[in-house]
Amino acid sequence: MPTFLWKQLPTRINLGHGRASRFASTGAVVDRSGRIDRRYYELCALWELRAALRAGDVWLETSRRYANPESYLIPPASWPALRPEVCTLTQTPQDGAARVKERQTELEALLRRFDEESPLKMNR
């Protein structure tokens, strides 16, 4: 468990966002006298940090599990050289507009098929 340098929380703490506001409204973080309970506040902060790590909003440079999500992607400088090979492997055209047109045609065909085979007929 991390150790904090302060003995008391600062007098002005923002409780207006995230789960902190929900915990504050239930009385878990702020007691009846209006004081912030340090233990519950720290627990809430650690809970939010955990959620942010899992979502990839926050990352650790030395971690494998909680690494920067961009480290999993092809670097932008390397992409132009790798693009033809990637497009060949994924069997997609290099032109983005052509790919969008392919997907649009495929989607329209699937929607027509759904309309024809669907037991639920929409009144038009």
**pLDDT per residue over 8-49, tens digit each?**
555 666 655 555 555 555 556 677 777 777 788 788 888 888
User: Which comes out higher in pLDDT, residue 12 or 108?
Assistant: 108
Q: 15: closest CA among 32, 34, 29?
A: 29
| Residue 83 and residue 48 share a domain | no
Give the model confidence (pLDDT) of 43-93 as tens digits: 888 888 898 899 989 999 888 899 998 888 999 999 999 999 999 999 999
Q: Would you say residue 59 lies in a domain?
A: yes
Please choose, from the candidates 77, 76, 9, the residue with its C-alpha nearest in 3D space to the C-alpha of residue 43. 9
Domain that holds residue 95: 79-117
For residue 7, is pLDDT > 60?
no
> How many domains in the chain?
2
Q: Can you read off the two tokens belonging to residue 8?
A: 């008391």
CB-CB contact of 26 with 11 (8 Å): no
- Check whether residue 24 and residue 64 sit in a common domain: yes
Q: What is the pTM of this model?
A: 0.51
Beta bridge pairs of residue 30: 36
